[in-house]
Structure 1
């Protein structure tokens, strides 16, 4: 009797699936059989959610690649996941990437919704990404948008036609974006004790990405995060409740006092690393104030957002810069990130050797390069050392004051010291 019942249910679900996709199946079973097979084995097919429900009925638009199955297509049936995703850093993915494509001429009007709510002229975020703007369309699509389109693409994690949750519960699904020199969280986790326990005993003993960052299946992956993507600490009003959330997550396995102490150690590593980074940044700005960068910003292709001026914040480039800026890019984007993220992911090798040691050697390299630039007077091939004169010092101080690096009082004091030496 039970076998007959199961057979009837399967037959009914097959009939429901076939009916939902009836107009599409005859052609697509032949032209895209894998997609059809994946859909037929999905929860969507069993629920009678056919092709038109997600792709629409305008076949010409679909063929032209204009019928995007974005997040809002999924939202009506998946409201809880939609709202959680929108509240998370994944929900800001396109703000930091495609948010700046309004500067390009080849974007479609419909893409305004990446930055704006429907009918709202005020952007949800004014963050732009200069590095994306410097890339070719092909590199931008593959090298940038495959990860930075997560805001409007549920299939970034879930795949397109399959709905099996074991796909997204596997930490490998996170690795394609969260790996590499600038944010190797995957590698850090994999080679930490957490990763070792996960590989040998499973996720009940060894936590994975989803255990800590998607507790109880939430789509808000930013729970417990106390800093920006660039490692800048959040204000206390935002950081303190986030830290309490993370301690609560860690307490599923650890004593709360232990979790709090380890996270605070990570905070200290972050603060110490940021101080090293700031020291290096000031060296570069001092060269710029003295006109000694080679080449100076005014003598190279303009920055996509800031024109021909020095940029060392999150919009800094790795191309069309001086050599010392290239060293700083590695220091900030790779080594600082590895140090800090390594500390929070409990990976000693990434925190120290891949991170802290590299960070400190970067500072040595940057200081040495600055000394060479000063000795050369900023001119290629100049054989004699050129000691900076009083006029150069005064010019550098004036530039520092004008960009806000010195207060009026500090400027007057330092200027007085230089003038005193001239007497």
Structure 2
């Protein structure tokens, strides 16, 4: 921005590298990972939302059992799947935060960001369930080899507007909601993240209503 152009040598705040590559660490890992999921989860309500999200990702099947895709997630280190690794990453990143901020400030904002991710998952799980029911009821065609849950990691191939909205909700708006929260950026968290997720859910519900009406009308004709 303008401040950078005025004095490129000034160091007015932390860079991405200061926090995510501290002490030369090139792994760029975070406790929640790219997908914003973890296991286990002590919060039972949140675990209900999480299970739905994991089914949407194809990591769990409709019965809640692991699928071969879980091995891909593990191999790619895309999520922390045990408490020990999650807590280790959280300590590492909060130790970096504590270089500039007080412990109480760090703890409060980390807790708030966790709550924001839970609220995002609540909306997202509801949206996934709506799409799942459309697929289960035959309103959206389930392709060979797929289950009733939407295939969030293969959304370049979806054929319906409602599934495209779900994909954007996941890859854009949910990401901005929880990543903005962990970066203490309320603008991205709310306007570009959470508010957009609410909008997505409204659109998905409207499309669900219209698709069901059209489906019933076609059956009756």
Asked whether the equivalents of residues 173 and 197 of structure 2 are also in contact (C-alpha less than 8 Å), the reply is yes
- Bigger relative contact order, structure 1 or 2 (CA pairs below 8 A, ≥6 apart): 2
Residue 180 of structure 2 is matched in structure 1 by: 342
> Shift of residue 202 of structure 1?
5.7
> Shift of residue 228 of structure 1?
2.7
Asked if 1:333 is matched to 2:171, the reply is yes
C-alpha distance after superposition, 1:329-371 (max 9, x if no partner): 1111111111111111221111101100000110011111111
Which one of the candidate residues 200, 209, 221 is aligned to 2:28?
A: 221
> Shift of residue 241 of structure 1?
2.1
Compute the TM-score of the two structures, normalised by the length of structure 2: 0.71
CA RMSD of aligned residues (A): 2.9
Length, aligned pairs only: 179
> Computing the radius of gyration over CA atoms, which structure comes out larger, 1 or 2?
1
Asked if 1:240 is matched to 2:47, the reply is no
Asked whether the equivalents of residues 316 and 329 of structure 1 are also in contact (C-alpha less than 8 Å), the reply is no
Structure 1: which 5+ residue stretches go unaligned? 1-189, 191-195, 387-423
In structure 2, how many angstroms separate the alpha carbons of the residues matched to 1:297 and 1:358? 27
Which one of the candidate residues 266, 277, 288 is aligned to 2:135?
A: 288
The correspondence of residues 110-189 of structure 1 with structure 2, limited to 5 A, is: none
From the superposition, tell whether residues 203 and 347 of structure 1 become closer, same or farther in structure 2 (CA, over 3 Å).
farther
Residue 375 of structure 1 is matched in structure 2 by: 213
> Shift of residue 247 of structure 1?
1.5
Residue 177 of structure 1 is matched in structure 2 by: none
Residue 42 of structure 2 is matched in structure 1 by: none
Residue 279 of structure 1 is matched in structure 2 by: 126
Asked whether the equivalents of residues 280 and 366 of structure 1 are also in contact (C-alpha less than 8 Å), the reply is yes
In structure 2, how many angstroms separate the alpha carbons of the residues matched to 1:255 and 1:198? 31
Compute the TM-score of the two structures, normalised by the length of structure 1: 0.39
> Shift of residue 321 of structure 1?
2.2
The correspondence of residues 22-171 of structure 1 with structure 2, limited to 5 A, is: none
From the superposition, tell whether residues 356 and 200 of structure 1 become closer, same or farther in structure 2 (CA, over 3 Å).
farther
> Following superposition, which runs of at least 4 residues in structure 1 exceed 6 angstroms of deviation?
196-201
> Shift of residue 375 of structure 1?
1.1
Residue 209 of structure 1 is matched in structure 2 by: 16
From the superposition, tell whether residues 340 and 277 of structure 1 become closer, same or farther in structure 2 (CA, over 3 Å).
same
From the superposition, tell whether residues 344 and 316 of structure 1 become closer, same or farther in structure 2 (CA, over 3 Å).
same
In structure 1, how many angstroms separate the alpha carbons of the residues matched to 2:154 and 2:83? 27
C-alpha distance after superposition, 1:234-279 (max 9, x if no partner): 3322222221111110111111221121111111111110111000
